[in-house]
Amino acid sequence: MRAALRNYLARMQRVLNHIDRHLDDDLHLDALSGVAAFSKYHFHRQFTAIFGLSVHRYVQLARMKRASYRPAYRQAQSVTDIALDAGYDTPDAFTRAFRQRFGQSPSSFRTSPDWESWLAAFGPLDNARSKLMQKIFTSDDVTIRDVLPTPVAIMEHRGNPATIGTTIQRFIAWRKATGLTPKTSPTFNIFHSDPHTTPPAEYRLDLCVGTDRPVERKGERIESGVIPGGRCAVLRVIGNTDNLEPAALYLYRDWLPGSGEEARGFPLYCQRLAFFPEVPEHEAIAELFLPLK
C-alpha cells in the first residue's frame, strides 16, 4: 500500500512540476491528466481531493503568483507586458483580476504593496503545494564544509516579517543600481530572529550580497560586514525556498543533538542559488548553513 501511495503522489508531483515549467502554455485538463497518466474523466476530482483546489484554480493562482512578482521586483517591465506574459488578452483584464485578488491595481502594488494581503491570497496555493513537498530530511542530506570568510554588503530588515517584501524591493533596486546582480555576486540571508518567538517589531533579517568592493550606498542604509569562515553543517533545499523553517527545524531538533557537534556563535544563514521566478518554483535552490565550533 505504501509503495502504491508513493507512486500515486509522485504522479501528482509530476503534474505540479509540469505546471511550474509550462505556465505560458495551454494547461488544459486533458494534457495534465496525460502527464499524470490518469483518466481524464476522473483526474479533476483526484486533483481536487489531494490539493483542495481545482486544476483550473491552481493554474490561475500559479500564474498570478509569478505575475505578481513582476510589478513588485521588475520595475522596468510595463503592466501591458506583465499582463501578456501572464496569459491575459488585455491589460484591463489583468488589472481587474489583480485587483480582485490583492485589493490593489498592479501600479499601486508596484509603488506601495500590501504584502499581508498578498501572502493571504496565495495561502491556498502554498497549502496545496505543501501537501506533496513536505521533504523528509535525513543525516545523509547534511554535509560539513569548511567555508571561507565572505565579505558582504548588508541591508537590514527590522520589523514585521510580513513586510519583508518591501525590503526585498529596495534591496533589488539597490543591487541593480550598483551592478551587484545575482549572476555576478552571491546572495545571502542571515536569520537573526525566529519569527515564531520574536515580537514582530523586533524581528531581524539581513539581506546580503557578497562583495569585496567598497560599499556604494546609493541613498540606502547599507553596511559592510563579513560572514565568518569556519566549519558549517550545510543542508540544501530544493523547491519552496520561501519557507526554510522545516529545514532549520530538522537541523536544530534532529541533526544537531545526534551529531555530537556544537553550534558556533553566529546565526543560521542561507545562500540563495536559484530564484523563483527566474526558475520554476520547484527548481529554486537555497543552502542553509549552521555554523559549528
The pLDDT of 124-148, averaged and rounded, is: 87
The pLDDT of 145-174, averaged and rounded, is: 93
Confidence band (pLDDT; 50, 70, 90) for 254? very high
The more confident residue out of 87 and 160 is 160
Per-residue cell: 28: 488544459
Q: What is the pLDDT of residue 71?
A: 74
Cα 124 to Cα 216: distance, rounded to the nearest angstrom: 41
| φ/ψ of residue 272, rounded to 5 | -95, 120
Instruction: Give the tens place of pLDDT for each residue, 151-160.
Output: 999 999 999 9
The pLDDT of 222-250, averaged and rounded, is: 94
Q: What is the pLDDT of residue 118?
A: 85
Report percent pLDDT > 90 for the chain.
55
3-state secondary structure of 36: helix
Give me the residues paired with residue 231 across strands.
146
Give me the residues paired with residue 249 across strands.
none
pLDDT above 60: residue 81: yes
Residue ranges and CATH numbers for the domains of the chain are 2-130 (1.10.10.60), 139-291 (3.20.80.10)
- Is the CB of residue 168 less than 8 Å from the CB of residue 115? no
Q: What is the pLDDT of residue 134?
A: 59
Cα 188 to Cα 273: distance, rounded to the nearest angstrom: 9
Instruction: Give the tens place of pLDDT for each residue, 90-115.
Output: 889 888 988 988 888 888 888 888 88
Cis before 277? omega within 30: yes
Q: What is the pLDDT of residue 84?
A: 79
Residue-wise DSSP of 176-235: HHHT--TTTS-EEEEE-S-TTTS-GGG-EEEEEEE--SPP--TTS--EEEEE--EEEEEE
Going by C-alpha positions, the residue among 260, 248, 267, 278 that lies closest to residue 208 is: 267
Q: What is the pLDDT of residue 167?
A: 93
3-state secondary structure of 259: helix
Q: How far is CA 292 from CA 227, 228, 245, in A?
A: 13, 11, 19
- Is the CB of residue 110 less than 8 Å from the CB of residue 71? yes
The mean pLDDT value of the chain amounts to: 90
Place of cell 501572464: 86
Confidence band (pLDDT; 50, 70, 90) for 248? very high
Cα 38 to Cα 49: distance, rounded to the nearest angstrom: 14
Confidence band (pLDDT; 50, 70, 90) for 171? very high
Cα 236 to Cα 138: distance, rounded to the nearest angstrom: 12
